Amino acid sequence: MRFLFLGDMVGRSGRNAVFSALPGLVADYRLDFVVVNGENSAGGFGITEDIFRETLSSGADVVTTGNHVWDQREALEFSTRQERFLRPLNYPKGAPGNGSGLFEAKNGARVLVANIMGRVFMSPDLDDPFACADNLVSACPLGEQADAIILDFHAEATSEKQSMGHFLDGRASVVVGTHTHVPTADDQILVGGTAYQSDAGMCGDYDSSLGMEKEEPLNRFVTKVPRGRFEAAQGPATIAGLAVEISDRTGLAEKVSAVRIGARLKEQRPDFW
């Protein structure tokens, strides 16, 4: 199974880059399943239902999020209707929407996708991501109810991300991090067969501060006094993510490659498709 993950789309630049490029990638690589993180797609803050729909139209099967999930208040509502929209799974019981779902890929495979948020330096108020991940893969194990399991682990600390990778190693197809908006160069298949990358990076303008215009963030670091608002950067975007060839037999990863296309970063494409 051919799987592609794209990291946080940031603002108009990031989402338009995805909307332009994704249909071609799906066709060229004959992708079976695509997940895109959309938590910053509406001007950097959250996501609207329209953007969510256009992301699906462009070729995504599922849209994940993170700490910005509720920035656009309409997400509190449409998350309850849209099954292909995921908020972090480790919200307490009663939170709107879903944190995971079982979906059918183009090749017929049953793909379990989950979005979990880390706690270190981030969200001490969410439930234990490790217990949450354990419940997830226990309830719907790889090779039994699921042919592939994808986790978007939205977290800050590399320690927590690596431990999650090891924790699910052999029990998930892919553990890919998001949230730092910078792609890491540690894409690899862990010893148990799980594809892993600490962070997919963002789809956005890399001449920026995390995809936002760099002036105001820098002003705050230097003067500590707010002068304006944070605005999404408008320059050309790089698409960043992870491509994984998942075994149809075991559900584990056979090949993995970071993906970086466009603008400022060194181009990287899977050489196995």
Contact criterion met (CB below 8 Å) for 250 and 149: no
What is the rounded distance in angstroms from the CA atom of residue 242 to the CA atom of residue 244?
Answer: 7
Residue of minimal CB distance from Fe ion?
8
Q: Which of 59, 61, 69, 128 lies closest to 95 in space, CA to CA?
A: 69
Phi, psi of 124 (to 5 degrees): -60, -10
Nearest distance in Å: CB 224, its own copies: 5
Ligand-binding site membership of 166 (annotated) = no
Contact criterion met (CB below 8 Å) for 19 and 50: no
Ligand-binding site membership of 181 (annotated) = yes
Q: Tokens for 173?
A: 């197809």
Among 19, 48, 74, 120, binds its own copies (CB under 8 A): 120
Binding characters for its own copies, 171-190, by CB under 8 A (x = yes): ---------xxxxxxxxx-x
What is the rounded distance in angstroms from the CA atom of residue 148 to the CA atom of residue 126?
Answer: 26
Ligand-binding site membership of 135 (annotated) = no
Residues 6+ apart with CB under 8 A from 162: 198
Among 59, 66, 177, 183, binds Fe ion (CB under 5 A): 66
The burial of 14, by beta-carbon neighbours within 10 Å (0-12 exposed, 13-18 middle, 19 or more buried), is given as buried
Of the pair 171, 179, the CB lying nearest Fe ion is at 179
Cα dihedral sign, 267-201-86-13? negative
Q: Is 100 helix (H, G, I), strand (E, B) or coil?
A: strand
Among 67, 100, 173, 238, binds Fe ion (CB under 5 A): 67
- Out of 2, 12, 15, 68, the active site residue is 68
Stretch 161-190 residues interacting with Fe ion (CB under 5 A): 179
Of the pair 37, 100, the CB lying nearest Fe ion is at 37
Contact criterion met (CB below 8 Å) for 196 and 8: no
Stretch 6-25 residues interacting with Fe ion (CB under 5 A): 8
Ligand-binding site membership of 67 (annotated) = yes
Let me know if 166 is a catalytic residue. Answer: no
144 lines the binding site for its own copies (CB under 8 A) = no
Ligand-binding site membership of 154 (annotated) = yes
Which of the 8 DSSP states describes residue 144? Answer: T
Nearest distance in Å: CB 147, its own copies: 26
Binding residues for its own copies, rule: CB under 8 A, are: 70, 76, 91-92, 94-96, 119-128, 130-131, 156-160, 162-164, 166-167, 180-188, 190-191, 198-199, 201, 206-210, 214, 217-218, 220-226, 240, 258, 260, 264-266, 268
* Residues assigned a catalytic role: 68
* Residues tagged in the binding site annotation for Fe cation: 8, 39-40, 67, 154, 179, 181
